[in-house]
């Protein structure tokens, strides 16, 4: 693909004085006028954190209105704050030693509790699929000790590969839940121990579920973390009832994004060769019946296209290190991509042309010191504006980019 510069202007930023973030969720309202975000509390020292405020921000008017708060949030994930059909917001809230969800009808000002936060909402709006927040935050969040999410429990929380936890399917009408795919079931899928990522003394978990546009297929990550700090992940998919479980790609490095019903894209990277100490431990474990992990075949870093049926191998779309997760424009045609910080502490936001071979660099934002910040661009319903986290002003804020010039003039950029 050919990379071109097409800077997009920043049209709005959240008010200074407090830090703000989008986190994981769907921030834009259906009419594209409001953004739901978190206003973060000050954290004077590790282990001391407070409640984040749930706010509605009008970028055009510059107004910010608080509507609630929660202590069930992390610097990396936020609180799964998202819009649902019917002008309703949902976010995570603490429920004793569990993390539940809250539905807030903005028109009626009515609140209803759910046993889980709404994570991957089915296109029909009736069902959500998600992982246990306790397991995700225990192994992945990187928050300091004493964070408000500490103390949460989940089935088999300390077990490396539990059969009683994994992805949960929740009916939003009555809150009924059932286990859709267990961690053990996903980890055991494949042929050899290496293909299954079943390394001894490793922690396995399922994360980042997402539905295809028609709701006929669910994709998610199976992640494996060992005690030396190494991490591996692979892309799996299943049908709405948890059946027809398939492995689609290995050595993935970010959340999956559906391009259409039959294709996904995923960031992948070069396989990591175990450090000597880690390899020695695995050789010792091999003596007890586990085969040692040999050097894995290197996978070129970049954005890869994946066949949802698993019938054809993944193909490289965009080579390059540090490419992150993104979002497809509602009208199609463009994929907005975040990125890791480069050597100059800048994060480049790109638009990849799904119908051609162009990549537009639309913004370069200062990365700052917030390692948990992952700027995933979020399209508004019109396909004109992008919202994302940034800290160009010295503190974590939310910015809106006007991508109209990029998405309308791309054909004129290449002769």
**Tens-place pLDDT, residues 49-76:** 578 999 999 999 999 999 999 988 887 7
Out of 132-136, 147-151, 340-344, 394-398, the most confident range is 132-136
| Contact call for residues 338 and 375 (beta carbons, < 8 A) | yes
Q: What size, in residues, is the chain?
A: 415
Residue 398 binned pLDDT confidence (cut-offs 50, 70, 90): very high
| Own/partner long-range contacts of 90-94 (Cβ < 8 Å, ≥24 apart) | 90/114, 90/117, 90/118, 91/25, 91/54, 91/117, 92/117, 92/133, 93/117, 94/70, 94/148, 94/152
Out of 161-175, 274-288, 323-337, 342-356, the most confident range is 161-175
| Contact call for residues 149 and 141 (beta carbons, < 8 A) | yes
pLDDT at 226: 67
| Contact call for residues 168 and 182 (beta carbons, < 8 A) | no
pLDDT surpassing 70 at residue 281 = no
pLDDT at 229: 62
Section 151-169 average pLDDT: 92
Distance CA 85, CA 82 (A): 10
Question: pLDDT above 70 covers what percent of the chain?
Answer: 80
pLDDT at 193: 47
Token pair, residue 229, equals: 């700090």
pLDDT at 2: 56
pLDDT surpassing 80 at residue 15 = yes
pLDDT at 273: 42
pLDDT at 270: 61
Kind and range of the H or E run holding 366 = strand 358-366
| Own/partner long-range contacts of 349-352 (Cβ < 8 Å, ≥24 apart) | 349/375, 349/377, 349/386, 349/388, 349/401, 350/3, 350/323, 351/6, 351/403, 351/406, 351/407, 352/1, 352/303, 352/317, 352/318, 352/326
Please tell me what DSSP assigns to residue 78. Answer: B
> Tens digits of per-residue pLDDT, 317-357?
888 877 878 899 998 889 999 877 777 777 888 898 887 77
pLDDT at 342: 74
> Tens digits of per-residue pLDDT, 91-117?
999 888 889 999 999 999 999 999 999
pLDDT at 390: 85
**240: closest CA among 285, 178, 159?**
178
Distance CA 32, CA 258 (A): 21
**370: closest CA among 397, 393, 343, 391?**
391
Token pair, residue 255, equals: 């959340």
CA distance to 42, 65, 290, 378, 400, per residue, from 393 (Å): 16, 21, 51, 20, 14
pLDDT at 297: 59
Residue 236 binned pLDDT confidence (cut-offs 50, 70, 90): very high
**253: closest CA among 194, 347, 325?**
325
> Tens digits of per-residue pLDDT, 178-230?
999 999 999 988 754 444 555 555 789 999 999 999 999 999 999 988 666 67
pLDDT at 34: 97
CA distance to 4, 270, 317, per residue, from 1 (Å): 10, 20, 8
Distance CA 354, CA 335 (A): 7
pLDDT surpassing 70 at residue 246 = yes
pLDDT at 74: 81
What is the CB neighbour count within 10 angstroms for residue 240? 16
Residue 163 exposure: Cα atoms within 13 Å on the Cβ side: 1
57-61, 134-138, 144-148, 249-253: lowest mean pLDDT where? 144-148
Section 226-255 average pLDDT: 88
Distance CA 93, CA 101 (A): 6
Residue 170 binned pLDDT confidence (cut-offs 50, 70, 90): very high
pLDDT at 406: 82
pTM: 0.87
pLDDT at 291: 40
Coil, strand or helix: which one is 236?
strand
Section 276-294 average pLDDT: 40
| Contact call for residues 129 and 209 (beta carbons, < 8 A) | yes
pLDDT at 347: 82
Contacts of 136 (CB under 8 A, 6+ apart): 77, 205, 207
Token pair, residue 93, equals: 């809230």
| Average pLDDT score over the chain | 82
Rounded to 5 degrees, φ, ψ at 184 are -65, -40
């Amino acid at each position: 693909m050919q990379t071109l510069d097409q800077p997009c202007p920043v049209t709005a930023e959240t008010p200074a004085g407090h830090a703000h973030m989008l986190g994981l969720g769907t921030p834009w309202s259906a009419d594209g006028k409001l953004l739901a975000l978190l206003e973060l509390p000050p954290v004077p020292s590790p282990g001391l954190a407070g409640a984040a405020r749930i706010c509605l921000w009008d970028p055009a008017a510059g107004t910010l209105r608080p509507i609630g708060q929660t202590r069930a949030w992390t610097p990396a994930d936020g609180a799964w704050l998202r819009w649902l059909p019917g002008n309703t917001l949902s976010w995570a809230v603490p429920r004793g030693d569990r993390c539940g969800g809250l539905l807030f009808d903005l028109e009626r000002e009515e609140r209803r509790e759910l046993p889980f936060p709404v994570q991957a909402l089915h296109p029909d709006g009736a069902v959500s699929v998600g992982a246990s927040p306790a397991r995700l935050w225990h192994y992945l969040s990187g928050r300091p000790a004493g964070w408000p999410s500490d103390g949460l429990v989940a089935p088999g929380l300390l077990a490396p590969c539990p059969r009683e936890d994994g992805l949960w399917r929740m009916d939003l009408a009555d809150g009924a839940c059932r286990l859709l795919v267990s961690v053990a079931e996903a980890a055991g899928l494949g042929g050899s121990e290496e293909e299954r990522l079943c390394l001894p003394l490793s922690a396995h978990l399922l994360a980042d579920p997402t539905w295809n546009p028609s709701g006929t297929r669910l994709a998610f990550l199976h992640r494996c973390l060992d005690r030396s700090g190494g991490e591996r992940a692979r892309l799996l998919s299943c049908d709405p009832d948890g059946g027809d479980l398939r492995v689609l790609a290995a050595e993935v490095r970010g959340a999956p994004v559906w391009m259409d019903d039959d294709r996904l894209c995923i960031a992948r990277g070069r396989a990591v060769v175990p450090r000597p100490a880690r390899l020695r431990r695995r050789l010792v474990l091999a003596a007890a019946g586990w085969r040692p992990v040999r050097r894995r075949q290197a996978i070129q870093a970049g954005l890869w296209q994946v066949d949802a049926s698993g019938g054809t191998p993944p193909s490289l779309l965009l080579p390059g290190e540090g490419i992150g997760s993104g979002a497809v424009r509602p009208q199609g045609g463009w994929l907005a991509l975040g990125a890791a910080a480069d050597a100059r502490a800048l994060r480049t936001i790109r638009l990849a042309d799904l119908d051609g071979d162009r990549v537009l660099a639309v913004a370069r934002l200062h990365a700052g010191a917030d390692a948990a910040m992952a700027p995933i661009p979020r399209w508004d319903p019109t396909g004109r504006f992008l919202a994302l986290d940034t800290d160009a002003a010295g503190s974590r804020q939310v910015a809106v980019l006007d991508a109209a010039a990029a998405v309308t003039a791309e054909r004129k950029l290449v002769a």
